[in-house]
Amino acid sequence: MKWYIIKRLLMLIPVLLGVSILSFSLIHLAPGDPAITIAGEHASIQTINAIREKYGLDKPITTQYWIWLKQVLKGDLGRSIVSNESVTKEIADRFPNTFELTMFSMFFAIIIGCIAGIISASRQYSILDYSFMGLALFGVSMPVFWLGIMLMMIFGVFLKWLPISGRISMMISFQQITGFYLLDSLLTGNFEAFISSLRHLILPSIALATIPMATIARITRSSMLEVLRQDFIRTERAKGLSERMVIYKHAVRNAMIPVVTVIGLNFGLLLSGAILTETVFSWPGIGRYIVNAVNMRDYPAVQGCILFFAFMFVIVNLITDIVYVYIDPRIHYG
């Protein structure tokens, strides 16, 4: 187990190096002088020269990469052309919002997806099974951005139940501590802010949760069906155990192994989905930031976001792999 984790960590090094090379190349593949790309078209000569100096842009490309990598490892992702703020700070400011959104969605997706899958499997070919699986089929084909718009239209515009955009109502002022709105409002005892930020969270997280929820429901069902066919389940039933006990105590535990992998794989989809959902709901997260940055040709910001997203994704995959080995003792990776 320990060796597996160490090996898995070592395998990260080439991948992360590759990711960094790809992000680094972005500036150099973009048309025009890299110094102007980094500083922005309207930058003064002094700024451009300062950039050229800082990143050693007159030196060979390998040296440039090395200088850049050292900056990145120090946590310096450069300055945004648009806001002239440090990209690291801009990402750090937005990360809690993206984190709250993705975690809330994943929570929804896992709970509802697993329950729907378990019910479908234990009542195979029932009306409930057919309707869940029919919904799941639509779910996996859903354009997230369109679903977001439809939810916004139905619950925000027509029924007026929930707010349609932003992170919190503009009328509420409250003090930020960690950047996580839900946590901060609880910590400061600001109940009004908590409710408002929770209400803003609902529609985007439902939209974002749909695809993972559908995939989780489908995989839970098929995995449960497989487990329910096995001998030990027949033994449990022969022992006279109630069906409820058989399913929830014995079958579910064994069926969860492939589900964990799918949950891990879905984080990638979730990050892609976050880019779209945040754009639809004007959610102040990293996804919306990167779209704006691409549209404004803010290359340092794009580069920083890419590095950050890829890094998160790699870490999530690592955690999934480790959890996978942990919950399934049969698996041994050499």
Partner 1 sequence: MDRKNNQLKETRTQELIRRLRYNKSATFGLIIVLILILCAIFANYLAPNNPSPSPPELFNALKPGFWSQKGIEGMPLGTDALGRCVLSRLLFGARVSLSAGFVAVGIAMILGITFGTVAGYYGGWIDAVIMRIVDIMFAFPALLLAIVIVTVLGQGLSKAMIAIGIVYTPQMARIIRSSVLYIKEMEYIEVQKAIGSSDRRIIFHHILPNSIAPVIVYGTLMLASAILDCAALGFLGLGAQPPTPEWGAMLSKSYSYIVSGAWWAATFPGLAILFSVLGLNLLGDGLRDILDPRLKI
Binding site for partner 1 (CB under 8 A): 14-16, 18-19, 22, 26, 29-30, 137-138, 140-147, 149-150, 152-153, 157, 164, 268-269, 271-272, 275-276, 279-280, 290-291, 294-295, 299, 302, 306, 309-310, 313-314
Query: Which pair of tokens denotes residue 44?
Result: 């003064």
CB of residue 68 vs partner 1: minimum separation in angstroms? 17
Residue 177, amino acid: I
Residue whose CB is less far from partner 1, 72 or 247: 72
Q: Closest CB to partner 1 among 175 and 230? A: 230
Q: Report the alpha-carbon distance of residue 281 to residue 255 in Å, rounded.
A: 36
Q: What φ, ψ does residue 100 adopt, rounded to 5°?
A: -60, -45
Closer by beta carbon to partner 1, 22 or else 67: 22
* Shortest Å, Cβ 304 to partner 1: 12
Q: Give whichever of 212 and 250 is closer to partner 1, judged by the CB atom.
A: 212
C-beta of 246: minimal distance to partner 1 in Å?
27
In whole angstroms, how close is the CB of 63 to partner 1 at the nearest point? 22
Q: Which is nearer to partner 1, 82 or 241 (CB)?
A: 82
Beta bridge partners of 79: 86
**Sign of CA pseudo-dihedral 135, 139, 143, 149:** positive
Per residue, the 3-state secondary structure of 217-247, as one string, reads HHHHHHHHHHHHCCHHHHHHHHCCCCHHHHH
Alpha helices, DSSP H only, in 30-123?
A: 34-39, 45-55, 61-73, 87-122
Smallest gap from Cβ 157 to partner 1, in A, equals 6
CA 271 → CA 176, 183, 255, 275, 301, distances in Å?
A: 25, 22, 26, 7, 17
Judged by beta carbon, residue 116 or residue 214, the one nearer partner 1 is 214
The residue type of 264 is G
Tell the smallest beta-carbon distance from residue 314 to partner 1 (Å).
Answer: 5
